[in-house]
Amino acid sequence: MNAPIIDPLQGDFPEVIEEYLEHGIMKCIAFNRRGTLLAAGCADGTCIIWDFETRGIAKELQDKDCNAAITSVCWSKYGHRILVSASDKSLILWDVLSGEKIARTTLEQTVLQARLHPGSSTPSLCLACPFSSAPMIVDIISGTTTVLPVLISEAGNGIAPNARSKTPDGSTTYSPSTACFNKFGDLVYTGNSKGEILIIDHEKVQVRALVPVSSGSIIRNIVFSRNGQYLLTNTNDRMIRIYENLLPMKDAHKVLDELHETLDEADEVEKLKAAGTKCLSLVQEFQDSINRIQWKAPCFSGDGEWVISGSASRGEHKIYIWDRAGHLVKILEGPKEALMDLAWHPVHPLIVSVSLTGLVYIWAKDYTENWSAFAPDFKELEENEEYVEREDEFDLMPETEKVKESDVNEDDPVDILNVEKDSAFSDSDMSQEELCFLPAIPCPEVPEQQEKCVGSSSKLPDGNQSESPLSVEAGQNGHAANNASSPLEAMENSVAGETEGTRLKRRRRPSEKGLELQAEKTKKPSKTMKPSAFATQYIVGDDSGWNTEVDYYAWLEGKTFYVGDVLVFSYVKTDHNVAMVDASGYNNCNADSNYGLYDTGYDTFTLTTPGDVYFICTKAGSLCTRGWSSNLLICFLFGFSSRCRAVFSYVKGDHNVAMVDVAGCNNCNADSNYGVYDTGYDVFTLTAPGDVYFICTYHCDYADQKLKVTVQPSP
């Protein structure tokens, strides 16, 4: 509705945490179709419905029989119903307006994800993806279930056992699988453990097409864009793939039936594959070639133009944003809390993310007030323009003013009634009343401060990453929202552009040793020292661990270490070791006898004093990582390999950046040779080895906002 006067210069993806929602421990979230309400499933089995306009709680759905954590929430198409799945194996269907339970059914296994049939406004059919068996169609009111096939047996026309009642031994072929409905719900797209998408006509319980995605790696997520034109998959090979849906939106299953008649391959599997090529075509692949991180909760933006995904690494809250053409445009970095769920607002450039601590963060654009909106006669320019004064600019010409008035003919009819259809919801079936809002009944006037206090004191999460990282932020940075306000923190921006080109070839070996290591990891943490209340534990290199294949400079970026933080080095015992050394040891790659050399495969170091710490692996001589941690300052020293750039992104007007020499750094004087930059996004290419210094001339002096970068010669 307000589209005609929205400022086109404001971009359309979020940048900063605008606000957070706090109520119990929220686990999973879902927007209704218009984005006016946000449903959140909590660890105690309640489902909170937030009014997203007021950011207040509009309703709480609580079943007295269910106090197990909610694993997924799903809205019906017109928002009248909500389906939740809980870890006590139950599925509950709610009527949103009345807040009453319509039906509850208990399955044999916990459902990780349940989705309502999108075709009906009062659906009772849903698609449930249990923890370790095939997806099934459940009629939640009658309680009947139909297990969908997940594997095609190579033998021929057969479909893998459609086990209705599984025995523990018989179901071993199943591993977690994922599935979703297409836009109108006539087909189900499932992803299986063999890396295949099966397109299933769920009424006939028949596989209609097969699309191989990646051989052998499990499909973790499968998600349609809101308009149904694109599909994404997240696979264990750390890739997100975007497919274009080639089938028509409506009656897709009929088109598939026709397709089958025209195909004449004898082999059933080949036939399904041939049909598959007519259903989906791969358009894009996304991965983080540097860190090789696993993805979590990928999804499309409301208009399908963007793709976002969280990092599955523990202890970080990173959201990657790509445009559909495949460019990484932004990495959002939140507090050091693992990300649990992610959703993009259906209409606005807003992202909400759920953290391990149970908070919901709302990411929005960092809006810069457009002052020309206040002063209509002015126009904001991107850059200075030369103004050529008209010859008669200051001449008095009374007639011209009259002319201006006449460009509107007041007799032209105006239409004050008709509304253009909202293009974003063009498929709306107008005959259906949509539930967008819950009636707001004013609360009686009571002081309502207590709620907040209770919330924060009982907020400790149940996971193993429970070192309350929030308090780190609160204590030292103010709450989380100051993302990217200083140039140093904002170095995250450089991750993508800087290193992608040079390191595309890195491969990860998913060896047995890697798995052994995983097992060890889970056992060991009990041995780690008890850090102080504010400490954070970092697994160096995250999932990749400590080896020559990880770019630790990239890993370091955006991380701030405080005294008390714990660094965990996890590596293959026979290949690597770890030694804490001083600067000379780092430069010469010699282990320091004072600190000793560790080679257990899992070693932890607690940072005890402010200052530089260096770690090396003596076996792989080139593997040197150093970080300069300090108690208050957020600074790093980076060693760069050869050609590299330093990117400073900051709030224009608040900061600037100047490259200086050592004297300039000490005296906080900008060097006239290099100049001061203040565009808000400045890039320096570092060409020669040696030390370079950067300062913000506003804050160098009293806030010590300076950075030393050491450029090392190429190895």
Binding site for other proteins (CB under 8 A): 1-2, 4-7, 36, 51, 53-56, 58, 348, 364, 367, 369-370, 373-377, 407-408, 410-419, 436-437, 439-445, 448
Q: Which is nearer to other proteins, 388 or 417 (CB)?
A: 417
Torsion of CA 415, 416, 422, 428, to 10 degrees: -100
Question: CB of residue 441 vs other proteins: minimum separation in angstroms?
Answer: 7
Q: Which is nearer to other proteins, 392 or 412 (CB)?
A: 412
CA pair distance 555, 567, nearest whole angstrom: 13
Token output for 318: 């990173």
Question: CB of residue 557 vs other proteins: minimum separation in angstroms?
Answer: 31
Q: Which is nearer to other proteins, 429 or 448 (CB)?
A: 448
Question: CB of residue 6 vs other proteins: minimum separation in angstroms?
Answer: 7
Burial of 115 from C-beta contacts in 10 A (0-12 / 13-18 / 19+): buried
Closest CA to 556 of 684, 659, 709: 709
Q: Which is nearer to other proteins, 452 or 509 (CB)?
A: 452
Q: What residues pair up with 42 in beta bridges, in sequence order?
A: 26
37 three-class SS: strand
Q: Which is nearer to other proteins, 325 or 419 (CB)?
A: 419
Closest CA to 566 of 519, 496, 613: 613
Distances (CA, A) of 468 to 63, 334, 458: 29, 14, 11
Dihedral angle sign, alpha carbons of residues 55, 61, 64, 66: negative
Question: CB of residue 683 vs other proteins: minimum separation in angstroms?
Answer: 30
Q: Which is nearer to other proteins, 51 or 612 (CB)?
A: 51
Q: Which residue has the tokens 């819950």?
A: 438
Catalogue the long-range contacts made by 211-216 (C-beta closer than 8 Å, 24 or more residues apart): 211/243, 211/273, 211/276, 211/277, 211/279, 211/280, 212/273, 212/276, 213/241, 214/239, 214/241
Question: CB of residue 44 vs other proteins: minimum separation in angstroms?
Answer: 22
Question: CB of residue 366 vs other proteins: minimum separation in angstroms?
Answer: 12
Token output for 297: 């909760």
CB contact burial 385-401 (16+ within 10 A = b; e otherwise): eeeeeeeeeeeeeeeee
Question: CB of residue 473 vs other proteins: minimum separation in angstroms?
Answer: 24
Q: Which is nearer to other proteins, 155 or 414 (CB)?
A: 414
Residue 402 neighbours by CB distance under 10 Å: 8
Question: CB of residue 439 vs other proteins: minimum separation in angstroms?
Answer: 6
Q: Are 62 and 79 in contact (CB under 8 A)?
A: no
Half-sphere exposure of 271 (CA within 13 A, CB side): 18
397 three-class SS: coil
Q: Which is nearer to other proteins, 2 or 431 (CB)?
A: 2
Closest CA to 243 of 229, 256, 253: 229
Q: Which is nearer to other proteins, 264 or 401 (CB)?
A: 401
Q: Which is nearer to other proteins, 40 or 657 (CB)?
A: 40
Question: CB of residue 477 vs other proteins: minimum separation in angstroms?
Answer: 24
Question: CB of residue 416 vs other proteins: minimum separation in angstroms?
Answer: 4
Dihedral angle sign, alpha carbons of residues 443, 447, 450, 456: positive
Question: CB of residue 371 vs other proteins: minimum separation in angstroms?
Answer: 9
CA pair distance 82, 580, nearest whole angstrom: 54
CA pair distance 165, 168, nearest whole angstrom: 10
Question: CB of residue 261 vs other proteins: minimum separation in angstroms?
Answer: 47
CA pair distance 333, 365, nearest whole angstrom: 14
Q: Which is nearer to other proteins, 266 or 416 (CB)?
A: 416
Closest CA to 309 of 223, 431, 395: 223
Q: Which is nearer to other proteins, 24 or 541 (CB)?
A: 24
